[in-house]
Structure 1
């Protein structure tokens, strides 16, 4: 199947679609990006992801691949000769990368989105503490990944599976800081990880793909207001 048959269905603030775009760019692959209106989902989205009806969806010819981490692995394996590898060659190291990527999506995303959902100050403080705790854990992971090597990313000299999983969340982290007043990205708590953040954000294709933080914050405020209205109505 030709590379030119690639389409990606996404939404501009979706970190899960953003990470797929990053890997497509890093691999140097040509693709058509189709922005979805999530309040009025397209027939194309409903056809290619009838189970979850959400983005991202990678369409490769007549094949549909859903769920961002699955899509990343598909791209890495299908275009192994294009660009740097996303996952390590060693089976154990591949398993470790998958583990921490899942940890970010399951534990960290839940905690920092919980800051927006929190309706009481004590609940918000708890979610902020949870998020900081996870970031400190990831600081230790990065320390182990780069120990004695001088490498700048979780994936080595170039961004890998863990890097794009976490890096795709940076615009939302900064937006949630802006909305809530929380300080998540703090050099005092995570000095090595903050160096990683600066290196990651300096990459050209990352800068071109990550959305404006204020625009993300606008979406976050709407989401927060909607959640609070639902809570008040219960």
Structure 2
């Protein structure tokens, strides 16, 4: 892979929302896996001796839940318990590996809970033992993009919710209507808990949508 190809792949990965994860405490709300992964990676980087690697969030193995009374968005997981699968390297000179792994697991579970994700387990895999922590460089910044303009009353109502940074168009238009279903997507400011903002945004969207509409909200970014 050339340098240009690597840059393009890194940007594409940062722009793609990934699967949509149910916000366990808020009915009808999802968080983009990409946004969750960025927060969890930062938390993992704070554990001494840990160099984070690949991280995925999916449905827990034992998850069997009834169909929700609202539409699940494309690429979305049905509401239910979640599982983190994370790879990491460890700087060999330091604490015993089991101690480091347990701290990492605890940090990831706490960070996930603060996001509002119902993560019940975290499976960790050590990929390398390092003599020293590698020098790190920030990933390439994605191309700048303006927030989409919309005069949809649902979007305008959501934009008034404290903590909503902008409406987005990562999965579809800012407001997607299909029959009696209404879906709105937006970014959340980093200083606000995504689940709390999603709950308030859901209430605002439901109030602005046609009576009886099945409303769902997507948090696609944490800015």
Under a length normalisation based on structure 2, what TM-score does the superposition of the two structures give? 0.28
> Whose helix proportion is higher, 1 or 2?
1
> Whose strand proportion is higher, 1 or 2?
2
- The one of the two structures with greater contact order (alpha-carbon pairs below 8 A, sep at least 6) is 2
